[in-house]
Amino acid sequence: MHTHILFEHPLNEKMRTWLRIEFLTEQMNANLPIRDHASALHFFRNVGDLLDVFERGDIRTELLKELERQQRKLNAWSEVPGVDISRIDALRQQLKNSSSILMAAPRIGQFLREDRLIALVRQRLSIPGGCCSFDLPTLHMWLHAKQSQRDTLVESWLASLEPLNQALALILDLVRNSAQFRKQTSLNGFYQDNGDDADLLRLKLDLVSQLYPQISGHKSRFAIRFMPLDSEHGSVPERLDFELACC
């Protein structure tokens, strides 16, 4: 049984940001509930990184624009003969609801930014070992509080991100499902093609090949170079089959 690895590569800045937010959110949820320093620092480090990403641009405006764009695409799809209209209508309603919730929500990340414990831990994270009990007695005490108290606070932090997560999950799901995987072949480890205004490249590679893709490009053109995981002894076949979706 062959194992395939899925690689995703953004073809513009907004998609790069969204994939980072998705990744960080998944990491935040990975080690819950918080029971000790290890799970706490894993959580707070990802919260800090997430807040840094939020501060680099207007995430809400970009998401609202994309929700609107996806609605227009669905409107165009509804004209296609034989399409499942009930499915299209359900998705359109989801997009509208998500837009309304996102527009009504406070500034993204504001609730986390104003939390005293998050701020204290965030300040110390850049210092090697800077979250020891003597550095952060408040964190040390919090980790000795009742589990239910910690859980309630963490749930409130995560709930504040729900409008963002809901919109982002919907958008990424629509983007990922907008194109099918097709078999392609690289010659001497190289492949290039037109992006056709795509946002995201999705590439499936067989783990047995022990190769990984180095992707460069943007929405109109991209190039993929396949590299051996073992840079000293590995080799790239003259012809390599892989699956690619331009979403």
The mean pLDDT of 61-80, rounded to a whole number, is 89
pLDDT at 166 (0 to 100): 95
Residues of the chain within CATH 2.60.440.10 domain(s) are: 182-246
Residues of the chain within CATH 1.10.3900.10 domain(s) are: 31-177
Distances (CA, A) of 59 to 21, 41, 68, 107: 10, 25, 14, 10
Burial tier of 107 (Cβ tally within 10 Å: 0-12, 13-18, 19+)? exposed
pLDDT at 82 over 80: no
DSSP structure class, residue 3:
-
The percentage of residues in the chain with a pLDDT greater than 70, rounded to a whole number, is 100
16-47 in b/e burial notation, b at 16+ Cβ within 10 A? ebbbbbeebbebbeebeebeeeeebbbbbbbb
Is-contact 243 181, C-beta < 8 A? Answer: yes
List Cβ neighbours of 200 (8 Å cut-off, separation of 6 or more). 8, 9, 10, 11, 15, 175, 176, 246, 247
pLDDT at 155 (0 to 100): 97
pTM: 0.92
pLDDT at 87 (0 to 100): 86
pLDDT at 59 over 90: yes
pLDDT at 220 (0 to 100): 82
CA angle 47, 176, 25 (to 5 degrees): 10
pLDDT at 86 (0 to 100): 85
- Going by C-alpha positions, the residue among 113, 17, 117, 25 that lies closest to residue 58 is 17
Distance in angstroms (rounded) separating the CA atoms of residues 211 and 93: 42
pLDDT tens-place string over residues 21-37: 999 999 999 989 999 99
Report whether CATH 3.40.50.10800 matches the domain 182-246. no
Distances (CA, A) of 219 to 20, 103, 161, 229, 245: 18, 28, 29, 27, 13
Mean pLDDT of the chain: 92
CB atoms within 10 A of CB 205: 21
Q: Which fold has domain 31-177?
A: YacF-like (1.10.3900)
Strands 4-10 and 200-206: antiparallel
